Each structure stands twice: as C-alpha cells, then as structure tokens.
C-alpha cells in the first residue's frame, strides 16, 4: 500500500463539503441539546409529578436506547406517519434530542450545586420564583456546567458520523463515497481522522481552560 | 410584665388573648418538628413594634427556627404566626408574599448573590419586588453602602470582599427593602474574630438610629446586652426566661439560664 497525495488532492473538495455538514450537525445539535436539556432539567423540578413522571420516563428511555436506533426510527418510521424531514434535519434533531438527555443531568447537577442559602436569600428578599431562577440560580448553575457541556459537544462531534447511516453526507459520508468511487480508502479516511483530531483536541483544551476559569 | 415588652405565656394559656396595639409579631402555640425532634413546642411569644429582642440559648434550642419561620423559609406543624396583624401561617401564597415584604433577614453565611455586583445585590429586589426605578434603587443602595461603610465597594463582586464586608453588604441588602422587622441569624458566627466588631458596630448604629424592630439570634453577649430591650432565654423549644438584658445577664432567675451564661460569657 502506498500513500497517494493525488488522491488526497482529489478528495479535498468533497472533504470541505463534508466538514461543513459535520460542523453544522455539531453546532445545531449542540444548541438543541443545550436548550432541550435545560427544559428537561427545569421540568424535572416542577412540583407536580404529573409533569416529572412523563419527562423522567421519556428522557430515561432516550438515554438508554442507542442513538443509531433512534436515528433509524426517526428516519424510517416517522415518514410512515406522514412526518417527513430531510436526512440532515432528522439527524440534527435526533442527535440533539439524544444528547439533551445527557445535558439535562449536567444542568441538574449544576442547579443542585447552588447552595440552599441562595434560595433562602431570594425568598427573604421576596423575589418571585421565576426571577430567582433567571437572575440568581441559573446564572450560577450554568457557569458551573459550561465545561461539562463542552465535553458533551466533543462527544457529539465523535458521534456525528453515525448520521452517515441515514444518507447524511458528513465527513465520513464523503470519505466513503470517494472510497467507493476510486477504490482508495487510506487517503480519505486518514484525512477525516486528522480533521477530527484538529477539531476535538483544541476543543478539549478550551474545555479545560474554561474549567479552570469557571469552576471554583 | 408591661404591655410593650414581649410577653411570655404558659403554653396552656389562651391561644388568642387581646392583641396589643403596638404588637408586631405574634406566635401562638407554634410547634415545629424535624422528624421526631420537636424543635419548638407550642411556643407563644410576641414582639412589640420597634423593640430589639435577642434570643439566646444553647444550640438546637429553636432560636434560628423562629427566625426561619418568620421569614417563611420553613413551616410550622401547628399554631399561627401573625405579623402586623396579618396571618403568616396558615395563609395563601399571595398573603405570605405581602407579609414577607415587612421582614428582612441577614444570614450567618451572608448568602450574597456571587453572580452580581455589590450594588446589584442591593438593587435587585427593590427593583423587581418594590418596583423602584433603577436610579431610585441605586440611590438608595449607595446611601446604605455609605451607612455600612462600603461606599467604595459598589462595583466589586462579593467574592472580592472579606467576610465582614460581605455581611455588611448583606445588611444593606436587607435594609434596602425597608422592612419593619430585621431578623439577624448569628450574623457574626462565620466571621474571623477581627471582623466581628465592624459588623456589630453597623448593627448598633442601625439599632440606635432607626425604629426598625430587630429579632436577633447571637452568641455575642456584649452585643446583646448593648442593643436589646428584651432577652429571651430558650431551652428545648421553650422560652424559659425573659426580661431586660440587665436582669437576664446579671441576675437570671432560672438555674438553666445561669448555667448557659456562665458557659458562654
């Protein structure tokens, strides 16, 4: 086996297309998981168990079933019920939903880490409950959990190639297509492997820096 | 017992004797339990408007629980609590919020909001709860910071301040709501010894220059002697002795009080 720089050059235009899709999945998937995870975490704090119970069951179910199965379910089963989205949209929603069940646990820990004295001070000042959440508790909780959320973004990055299985042309999708067309596997797969490292490693350094700064 | 001092009754006394005009806080038969532990046992007591009342007694005797009940941080199992003629327990949430406006509290651990500047800590509630404009609230806050000797710390973060400074900000924050009652829960217990005096001086100042009613749990007996109109000695969820500080500190009637004071003085 020999390394063919020509194949690398041929692959690069496709690679950039794939990188763009991967980053799009990552950015939108992260946003969905951040927002939805926070919503789950807050719903789990409501006083009525008629809210907590269904949210608990649904999120436990999603967290404990494989992302790949959920992906296939959304891509192949939902259209049978008349719900059709593009492969990319379906993939982003599925991965965002899946990771929201992890981020909710991160938020939960962050919220629980806010000392009881903060709630008591807010009560003593007669602050409305909603205001206590938005001005006192969540700013402190979220500050603490930013590094942990960052770790899930990195984990999600490494899960993005799963979307290839529902025809999304991310980096791996492009590499596989190129390989099948040119019978050259080494070069495209190496290129995307290096690309993953170039994104994930600086991101992990950033997370560590944030940890030092934000988590006291 | 004169009408303008907190009056003590035996637990079996009538639950609703006539209410005195100057009475601000009233506990009737209040029982508080934590599990099988009865912290307050059918407690009756009242505080007149403008008085400074200090609660003393051994740890676990229910002093802090009284403050927490008044601040609605916890609920009694039995009995009623009335503040300024309005019932606090039992009461609907809306009424509790109204009554709570009359009460401010300073905590042992300060409990400042670390995500806000000192100034914002003080203006947050006046703006959101009382509806003051930002300018009005800031003017009030700066006045209070001046009062507690921290006029130059408005822009600082709480974590940049010493414990004593943080506690003085917490006092300013409570006063910014213009409460009728100020609850002080062991406000110097978490401080380094050399920082205690600064906080107590501020409180002495407030006690002397305002007509705010103070309910104070403290182990600083000299401070209690200085500011109190009335001292209540607690033991096992009951008030076992009450009287003016001169009497309680120099000539207590109960052996238990004498025993406690000789241990802490």
Kindly state whether A82 is in contact with chain B, defined as any CB-CB distance less than 8 angstroms: no
Q: What is the pLDDT of residue B17?
A: 44
pTM: 0.87
A114 vs B contacts (CB less than 8 Å): none
* B71 touching chain A per CB within 8 A: yes
Q: What are phi and psi of B152, to 5 degrees?
A: -85, 0
What pLDDT was estimated at residue A216? 57
Q: Which residues in chain A have their CB less than 8 angstroms from residue B104's CB?
A: 124-125
- Which ipTM value was assigned to this complex? 0.88
Phi/psi for B86 (5° steps) reads -110, 135
CATH for A5-214 is: 1.10.3720.10
Dihedral over Cα of B203, B207, B211, B215: its sign:
positive
Q: Which of B214, B85, B12, B74 is nearest to A116 (CA)?
A: B74
CB-CB contact of B114 with A140 (8 Å): yes
Which residues of chain A are within 8 Å of residue B103 when distances are taken between CB atoms? 124
**Chain pair A-B, CB pairs under 8 angstroms:** 58
pLDDT at B21 (0 to 100): 58
**Cα dihedral B53→B58→B63→B65 (10° resolution):** 170
Domain boundaries, chain A: 5-214
Banded pLDDT at B244 (limits 50, 70, 90): very high
Closest CA to B242 of B84, B64, B71, B44: B44
Low-confidence ranges of chain A (pLDDT < 50): none
Cβ of A123 within 8 Å of Cβ of B177? The answer is no
pLDDT score recorded for residue A142 = 92
Helix, strand, or coil (residue B233)? strand
Asked if A120 lies within 8 A of B129 by C-beta distance, the reply is no
Chain A interface, mutation test: which of B111, B160, B173, most A Cβ atoms within 10 Å? B111
Cross-chain Cβ contact A126/B97 below 8 Å: yes
What is the Cα–Cα distance from A186 to A130, expressed in whole angstroms?
55
């Amino acid at each position: 086996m020999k390394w063919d720089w020509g194949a690398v050059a041929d692959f690069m235009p496709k690679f950039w297309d794939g990188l763009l899709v991967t980053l799009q999945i990552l950015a939108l998937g992260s946003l969905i998981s951040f927002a939805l995870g926070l919503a789950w975490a807050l719903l789990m704090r409501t006083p009525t168990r008629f809210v907590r119970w269904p949210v608990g069951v649904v999120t436990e179910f999603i967290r404990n079933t494989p992302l790949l199965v959920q992906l296939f379910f959304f891509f192949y089963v939902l259209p049978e019920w008349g719900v059709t989205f593009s492969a990319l949209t379906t993939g982003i929603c599925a991965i965002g939903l899946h990771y929201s069940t992890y981020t909710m646990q991160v938020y939960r820990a962050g919220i629980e880490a806010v000392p009881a004295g903060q709630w008591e001070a807010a009560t003593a000042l007669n602050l409305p409950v909603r205001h206590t959440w938005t001005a006192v508790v969540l700013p402190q909780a979220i500050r603490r959990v930013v590094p942990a959320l960052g770790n899930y973004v990195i984990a999600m990055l490494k899960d993005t190639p799963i979307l290839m299985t529902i025809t999304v042309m991310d980096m791996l999708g492009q590499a596989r297509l190129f390989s099948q067309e040119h019978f050259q596997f080494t070069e495209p797969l190496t290129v995307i492997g290096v690309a993953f490292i170039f994104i994930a490693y600086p991101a992990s350094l950033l997370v560590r820096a944030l940890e030092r700064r934000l988590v006291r | 017992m004169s009408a303008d001092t907190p009056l003590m009754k035996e637990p079996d006394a009538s639950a609703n004797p006539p209410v005195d005009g100057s009475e601000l806080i009233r506990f009737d038969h209040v029982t508080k339990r934590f599990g099988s532990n009865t912290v307050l046992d059918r407690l009756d007591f009242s505080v007149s408007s403008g008085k400074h009342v200090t609660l003393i007694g051994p740890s676990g005797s229910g002093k802090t629980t009284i403050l927490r009940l008044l601040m609605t941080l916890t609920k009694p199992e039995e009995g009623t609590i009335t503040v300024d003629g309005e019932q606090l327990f039992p009461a609907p949430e809306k009424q509790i919020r109204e009554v709570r406006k009359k009460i401010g509290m300073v905590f042992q651990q300060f409990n400042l909001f670390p995500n806000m500047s000192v100034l914002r800590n003080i203006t947050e509630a006046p703006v959101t709860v009382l509806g003051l404009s930002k300018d009005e609230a800031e003017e009030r806050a700066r006045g209070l910071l001046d009062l507690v000797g921290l006029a130059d710390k408005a822009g600082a973060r709480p974590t940049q301040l010493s414990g004593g400074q943080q506690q003085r900000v917490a006092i300013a924050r409570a006063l910014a709501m213009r409460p009728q009652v100020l609850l002080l829960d062991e406000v110097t217990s978490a401080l380094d010894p050399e920082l205690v005096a600064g906080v107590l001086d501020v409180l002495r100042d407030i006690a002397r220059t305002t007509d705010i009613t103070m309910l104070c749990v403290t182990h600083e007996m000299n401070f209690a002697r200085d500011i109190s109109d009335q001292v209540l000695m607690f033991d096992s969820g009951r008030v076992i002795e009450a009287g003016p500080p001169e009497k309680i500190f120099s000539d207590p009637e109960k052996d238990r009080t004498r025993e406690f004071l000789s241990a802490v003085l």
